[in-house]
Structure 1
Amino acid sequence: MKKITLLFACFVAFSGLMNAQNSRSIADLPNTTNNPVYSQGEPVTTTATVQFEKLMGAQDFNAYVPVERYTVTTTHGPSIITGRRGVMAVTPYTDRATFEAAYPGALVNEDFSGGPGIGVIQACGPVVSSAGDGCFSAGELEDGFTITASTVGNDVIYIGETALGNSSTLMGANTFADFTILTFVPAGAHAVGMDLFVDAVSNADVRIYDMGGTLLDTFTINNTPNTENFVGYTSDDAIGRIEIQAEADAGELFGNLVFGTDPLGGGGGGACQEENPNDGTFENGFNCSSASAFMT
């Protein structure tokens, strides 16, 4: 159970680039009102085992082939989220602790640890849910969500820890040309967080829809390829589904899913509760600046 102590309702608008090897707070990213950028967190260094590699011409994760085990060490910064502000208030996060503190309700956690196992790559069938599938027995997964591929009938893939240098179990559309769909049923979700893994490329688009299928917002996520990086969202309106699509049909995966169905209960985003938003000071660990006026 995660309970909020301080409501963080701050939409920030910035533009810029962050070197994945450097620590840059959001205060370091310059301003733009048309293409805001969100990034918070410190660089991390991870070491992981690789057991499979992609053959030239492979069209899906299930075509990866076993190799002699080796380890990889990477240092990478947090995700950089480029936001295209929609009608509804959707707030993005790149730091898991900040995301969890900002959400006033209980969060459901699903790490997919009850599947085929460490180092396994396995197709699960067209739908993964608590009802059971080719990778999880009925009741193994938490209720409230399903995972599918964008092409009806195509498989969802299970990527066990260490298979691709990943430190946790990952799920997503098996076929690279498909995108991954995460649907929240039956009540939707007001908070969703996950570790995003994009194969071989840096960018993926995340499209967020309400329960009626209306697009709420689209974000482009920039990560170091083949690393797990947290991204999260809170929304005034219940999120019905999230589509994740890697650029150039590269293949996208996610793990360590958390979501909450309780409404935010606050006034939403769109304004920062800061007395002096442009003076460089911090409140609750977050700095805000904008080319437009802030609510005080």
Structure 2
Amino acid sequence: MRKITLFFIFVGGIMFAQQPQSYLELSNQNQTNEYNSETATVINNSSQGIIATYVAKVLFDIGLEENCSEPTVTYEDFLGGPIEIFDCGLTMSNAGDGCYDPGELEIGFQISASNGSNTVSIPAGAIGNTDPLAGAITFAEYTVVEFTPSVYAIAMDLWENNFPLTDIRVYGETGDLIETIQWDVPTNLQVFFGMIADEPISKIEVQGEQDSGELVGNLYFGATCEALSVNDHILSQLSVYPNPTNDIVTIKMPPNVELVSIKLFDVLGNLVLKNANLTQIDVSNLSSGLYLLDIITTAGTVSKKIVRK
């Protein structure tokens, strides 16, 4: 009986030792899981400094336009890396690393792992992923993404290897923790996550529960999205249509806001049209091209780009 007991303990030890502890130990699956950006859900978000979170790219794009004075973001797809799962060293950045040449990745971010662990590059299809992924190489460590300069908007695909609950810790420009967002992320599936803050973000930490091995891909970062004033929110409701146009442009004013005057400039900055409080503008006599329309209202001034077809 003693020999049998020892035998089973030994076998159990072998089985435990064979469990993969890092992405380098995973064999290439050479398959692609179906991408579903609607699957992730926010479990807890106290919204301290975070304006909104998003589960779909199209909603994130709308959020940028609605909340950010400068909605432009940088996109990193992580293409051009190794054709197999590869150890990239301590960091991944525009400066170059074990997986990407200097200048190959977009400038403005750096990926590292907690506790001085190395990072990993996962090519598309290697573990069932649709697109390249990057992050901490071992399952016991978590993925860190730092931004220089700080940013207001971040979006990415998340990947969890073996446990769905994921904490995303968001840090401000001074290094203080702004927010912890918990996501229920399906395992072995790329899932979109996006967020917009009203204060600068310098770093995020992505940590799954129970050493689940979190990765990121299709990274978007940037924008300027400070909290808007009351008048800014009001003026964000002002619209100009149709745009592009052949002849008449109509200005739709927000409630309780009056139009004072308008000025229309060409791309060289020349004033081509100036009117009093007219909500309809005839541009049929102007040349085709891009124009800048300054709209002066009782709530402030807003500029709109219009195109004369």
Aligning the two structures, in what range does the TM-score lie when normalised by the shorter sequence?
0.5 to 0.7
Match of 2:132 in 1: 169
Which residue, 61, 68, 72 being the options, matches 1:106?
72
2:254 paired residue number: none
CA radius of gyration, larger in: 2
How far does the alpha carbon of each residue in 1:145-185 deviate from its partner, in whole angstroms, 9 at most, with x for none?
A: 00000112x21100000001100000010011111000001
Q: Find the counterpart in structure 2 of residue 58 from structure 1.
A: 20
Alignment of 1:144-163 (within 5 A): 144-152=108-116, 154-163=117-126
Which consecutive unaligned segments of at least 5 residues does structure 2 have?
1-16, 234-309
Instruction: Give the aligned partner of residue 127 of structure 1.
Output: 91
- 2:58 is aligned to 97
Distance 1:216 1:70, change over 3 A: closer
The one-letter code matched in structure 1 to 2:178 is: L
List 4+ stretches of structure 1 deviating above 3 A.
69-77
Q: Which residue of 2 aligns with 1:245?
A: 207
Instruction: Specify which structure has the bigger relative contact order, considering alpha-carbon pairs within 8 angstroms and separated by 6 or more residues.
Output: 1
Q: CA deviation at 1:115?
A: 1.0
Deviation at 1:62, TM superposition (A): 1.1
CA RMSD of aligned residues (A): 2.2
1:213 — aligned with what? 175
Matched residues in 1 for 2:165 and 2:113: separation?
19
Find 2:187's aligned residue among 188, 204, 225: 225
Distance 2:188 2:229 in 1: 37
- Give the residue type in structure 2 aligned to 1:176: F
Taking the aligned partners of 2:109 and 2:56, their CA distance within structure 1 comes to 22
| Structure 2 residue 46 is matched with structure 1 residue 82 | no
What CA distance in whole angstroms lies between the structure 1 residues aligned with 2:229 and 2:191?
28
CA distance in 1, matches of 2:225, 2:31: 45
TM-score where L is the length of structure 1: 0.66
Q: Which has the higher strand share?
A: 2
**Which position in structure 2 is the counterpart of 1:12?**
none
Considering fraction of residues, name the structure with more helix.
Answer: 2
CA contact (8 A) 1:157 1:172 kept: yes
Displacement of 1:225: 0.9
- Give 1:74 shift: 7.4
The one-letter code sitting in structure 2 at the alignment partner of 1:190 is Y
For residues 74 and 190 of structure 1, do their structure 2 counterparts lie closer, same or farther at Cα, with a shift above 3 Å needed? closer
Which residue does the alignment assign to 2:294? none
Residue identity opposite 1:124 in structure 2? C
In 2: Cα distance, 1:65 partner to 1:248 partner: 21
- Runs of 5+ unmatched residues, structure 1: 1-54, 272-296
> Does the CA-based 8 Å contact 2:47-2:179 persist in structure 1?
yes
Q: Counterpart of 1:172 in structure 2: which amino acid?
A: G
Counterpart-to-counterpart distance in 1, 2:94 and 2:32: 33
State the number of aligned residues.
210
The structure-2 alpha-carbon separation of the partners of 1:239 and 1:113, relative to structure 1 and needing over 3 Å to count, comes to same
- Partner Cα distance (1:133, 1:242) in 2: 20
- Partners of 1:76 and 1:108 in 2: CA distance: 20
Using the aligned pairs only, state the percent identity: 32
Change (3 A) 1:204 1:267: farther
CA separation of 1:72 and 1:79: change in aligned 2, threshold 3 A? closer
Give the aligned partner of residue 138 of structure 1. Answer: 102
- Distance change (3 Å), C-alpha of 1:56 and 1:221: farther
**CA spacing shift, 1:74–1:147, aligned 2, 3 Å:** closer
1:184-232 CA-to-partner distances (Å, cap 9, x unmatched) read 01x2110000010100221111100101111111111112211011001
Q: Secondary structure at the match of 1:99?
A: helix
Say whether the 8 Å CA contact 2:151–2:222 is kept in structure 1: yes
Tell me the TM-score normalised to structure 2 length. Answer: 0.64
For residues 216 and 74 of structure 1, do their structure 2 counterparts lie closer, same or farther at Cα, with a shift above 3 Å needed?
A: closer
Query: For 1:274-285, what aligned pairs fall within 5 Å after superposition?
Result: none
Q: What residue identity is the alignment partner of 2:63?
A: A
